[in-house]
Every structure is written in C-alpha cells, then in structure tokens.
Homo-oligomer: A and B are copies of this chain.
Amino acid sequence: MEVRTILVEPKNEENIGAVARVTKNFGFSDLYLVNPPNIGKKAFSVASHAYDVLSGCTIVNSIEEAIANSAIVVGTTSQPGISVNRHLRMPFFSPQELKKKVEDKRGIVTLLFGREDVGLLNKELMRCDLVVCIPTSPGYPVMNLSHAVAIVLYELRDAGADSGERPLARLEDKERLFAHIRAFMDEIGYTEYKKEKTALMLRRILGRAELTAREVQTLRGIVSKAERKMGMGEDETPEHRCTE
C-alpha cells in the first residue's frame, strides 16, 4: 500500500510542520493539505529535516481533489460511535486493526485528519470507507492533531514495505457504484426516510469489504441486470467498466 495523509483545514501551522516531520520519520512523503493557513517559517522550523515533505506537499481546495485515486479512504475521529445502528462512526477500527486490513493490499490508503477544534464534519466522515479511532482515555480522548497522525503512521509504518497481492478498486469506480445503487433505490421506490441511512450502511459495508476493481464491475453488472429486468435504468455503457 501507499499511504497518503490529508489534513483537512488545519488551523495551526506548527501542527502542519509537526505532521510533515512525523510523516518522514515513518518513511512516508505523500502529504495533502485542504485549505491550510499560510505556511511560513514556523511550520518549516517545526518540520526540521522534513522540509522536503513540507515543501513538496499538495495544497487543494476540496477533499474531493485530495482523495482522488485512493483505494481506501479512512476518516479519523476521537469520538467513536456508540450504537451499531448508527453507521456514521460505526463500526470503527483501531490503528492496529487498520494495519491488518491494508497490509496485504495494493493501492493508495488515504488518511483524513480533521480540524484541531471540530475534527471532520459528519458529511466528510460519510465520504470515508472506514472510520479509525485511536484508543485514548475517556478522561481526555482528544489528541493533538500531529500526535494522532504520529500514532496512525507509526502503526502503518511497514504497510508499504511489501506490495500487496490484491489491487483494490479506485475511489472513482466505487463512487460510480454507490451512485448507481442510489439511483436503483430511487427506481425501486425505497422508503425515502430510510434511504440516507441505508446508503451509508452500504458504503460502510462495501468500504470494509475492500473491493477489487473486478468486484465493483460485477456488482454494477448485477444492478444493471436488475434494472433492465424491471425495464428501468440505462443500457450497459462503456462507463460501467472500471479503470484498473
């Protein structure tokens, strides 16, 4: 696996420098910043010998741009879900469990870390395949941003060492599948008030299932077949095929 770290709207430039440093400490270099503050001397001073990672980072305006080409999008939160009936933060994985899930795969695993004060927004967590929560003390669960990055990258440090056996589907292919499923739910008249919740549940299930490109293609084929049988949907178009 390749590992990409994304900081979503970080406020503090020292934290950005500290994240660059720990990214290099664990042998990584792929760093994205979504709408960061101005990165000046303070950030570079904290980054220390990781000035190359900091000056080489990619600055974008949206999460969509930052997660492009990912195989697995991981959201991090200090507030795990409590009820398994709420799919937004459930089920959640520890950094160690994340490592086990990704170590034999091939593709980009993208880690999203939220703002210092409010973390990731619910709509951003919904966008993720998996949710990871660092096992902290209930007495003070909220970690400093760069510490949280340090713990997750520490666990994933060897994930990139072997190139895994299973090439995973890219995000863009999975998104077409999710959109297709949503359209199908509309077509079959799925109960409106349940639709959002069920769509998120499917995203969580398929997120943890780590689909390959071929599996995504087959799933879309099933939905298309059902649509055709019901006289709905569109004919199979080349767009259905996954880019591998």
Residues of A at the B interface (CB closer than 8 Å) are 14, 18, 21-22, 24-27, 46, 48-50, 134-137, 139-144, 146-147, 150-151, 154, 157
Q: How far is the CA of A151 from the CA of B26 in the complex (A)?
A: 12
Quick one: which of B14, B46, B50, B142 contacts A140, CB cutoff 8 A?
A: B50
Query: Given contacts A24-B140, A25-B141, A142-B49, is CB(A134)–CB(B147) below 8 Å?
Result: no
Residues of B within 8 A of A48 (CB): 142, 144
In angstroms, how far is the closest chain B Cβ from the Cβ of A230? 52
In angstroms, how far is the closest chain B Cβ from the Cβ of A146? 7
Given contacts A26-B137, A150-B150, 17 further A-B contacts (CB under 8 A): A21-B144, A21-B147, A22-B143, A24-B137, A25-B136, A25-B140, A25-B141, A25-B147, A48-B142, A49-B140, A137-B157, A144-B146, A146-B147, A147-B150, A150-B151, A151-B151, A154-B154
Structural contact, B18 and A147, CB atoms closer than 8 A? yes
In angstroms, how far is the closest chain B Cβ from the Cβ of A67? 25
Query: Given contacts A50-B140, A154-B134, is CB(A147)–CB(B24) below 8 Å?
Result: no
Structural contact, A22 and B147, CB atoms closer than 8 A? yes
Residues of B within 8 A of A49 (CB): 140, 142
Residues of B within 8 A of A142 (CB): 25, 48-49
Identify 28 residue pairs between A and B in the complex whose beta-carbon atoms are under 8 Å apart, listed by A's number.
A14-B14, A18-B144, A18-B147, A21-B140, A21-B147, A22-B143, A22-B147, A24-B140, A25-B136, A25-B137, A25-B140, A25-B141, A25-B142, A25-B147, A26-B136, A26-B137, A27-B136, A27-B137, A27-B139, A48-B142, A50-B140, A134-B154, A135-B157, A143-B150, A144-B146, A150-B150, A151-B151, A151-B154
Residues of B within 8 A of A143 (CB): 21-22, 25, 150
User: Smallest CB-CB separation from A135: which chain B residue?
Assistant: B157
In angstroms, how far is the closest chain B Cβ from the Cβ of A18? 6
In angstroms, how far is the closest chain B Cβ from the Cβ of A53? 9
Across the A-B interface, give the 3 residue pairs with the lowest CB-CB distance, nearest first. A27-B137, A24-B140, A147-B150
In angstroms, how far is the closest chain B Cβ from the Cβ of A172? 31
In angstroms, how far is the closest chain B Cβ from the Cβ of A106? 21
Q: How far is the CA of A22 from the CA of B78 in the complex (A)?
A: 13
Residues of B within 8 A of A150 (CB): 143, 147, 150-151
